[in-house]
Amino acid sequence: MIGMHVSKPRIMSQGLVRQYTVEFGGIKTDIEIHLIQAAQYGVHDYIAYVIDELPDWVIAMPLEKIVDWIGSGAKPENAIKRGLKEINVKPTKENLEIAAGVFNRWFNYYGALTPLLLMENITDVYINKTGTKFGMGGIYIEHALLGRVQVVIGWEPYELRRGRKAIKVVAFDLNAFVDYLIRRIAQRTRTAITTYNPVTSVVDSELGVRFSVETEPVNPGSISVRVLPRKPWTLPDMVRNGMINVNDASALWLLADHKVPILFIGPWVVVRRVYRTLLPTCW
């Protein structure tokens, strides 16, 4: 499962269009959207590179071994310290904090995908395995201002060295990344995703996203993510924008307060934001 916890890709660009910085669990991640005009990228003119501000040695962290050591009774701090020693990294306080943050993001959240889910101006994420008959593989987002944008998560092959000798090459595997994400979705939402339940739609309320997953035998591995609005409209906003009048707003709030079922009809982006406005009352 190594290869899902960090992203440090090589950037190809004809110009930086937009840049975002997301901080999560003590890890800063830059998401840079670049203009690309190259035939190999098909019709996609923009590519977003997910770049963790982390040292290169993080790529080689033996995550599975750390999990095994913790499962065998070792304290997490001691297991992480042992993992650093295995890749010849000095277990200083700073290095231990970095390693612990990366391990937590990988083990408890969605690894290198986590900051993308928290990025501004993003409405949807599409993730598909490569080399299948189910359309174009890879990761894509719907950006509120730029439209469809390809995403690059991963890195160029990284050599783990001891002295001058390369003892291992760590490469990123997108298909393994998709399998990892499906396992994490199942674990975080406590939903079984198996051959008996290969299609499911679940919400991760902590991050404010909804996952729709398809796995074998329906699909080799496909994930669609709907990012719920970060800043829902309030009823005063809707009145101010001329969407509804004061009387309609009062009636709507009264119905929600009494938990009367309300049917919304219209563009989904509007319906979704109205629903989020009333959600605390509906519950």
Report the alpha-carbon distance of residue 77 to residue 108 in Å, rounded.
16
pLDDT of 161: 76
Report the alpha-carbon distance of residue 255 to residue 119 in Å, rounded.
34
Per-residue pLDDT of the chain (283 residues; tens, 9 = 90+): 455 799 999 888 778 999 999 999 999 999 999 987 755 555 558 999 999 999 999 999 999 999 999 999 999 999 999 999 999 899 999 999 999 999 999 999 999 999 999 999 999 999 999 887 776 789 999 998 888 899 999 998 888 777 777 778 888 999 999 999 999 999 999 999 988 899 999 999 999 999 999 999 998 889 999 998 777 677 888 788 787 888 888 888 888 888 888 776 655 445 555 555 554 444 3
pLDDT of 21: 96
CATH 1.10.443.10 is right for the domain spanning 16-57+110-227: no
Task: For the chain, state the CA radius of gyration.
Answer: 22
pLDDT of 43: 53
Q: Which residues contact 240 (CB under 8 A, 6 or more apart)?
A: none
pLDDT of 280: 46
pLDDT of 276: 52
Domain boundaries, the chain: 16-57+110-227, 235-282
Name the region of 190 (left: φ>0; alpha: ψ -120 to 50; beta: rest): left
Report the alpha-carbon distance of residue 6 to residue 28 in Å, rounded.
11
pLDDT of 248: 85
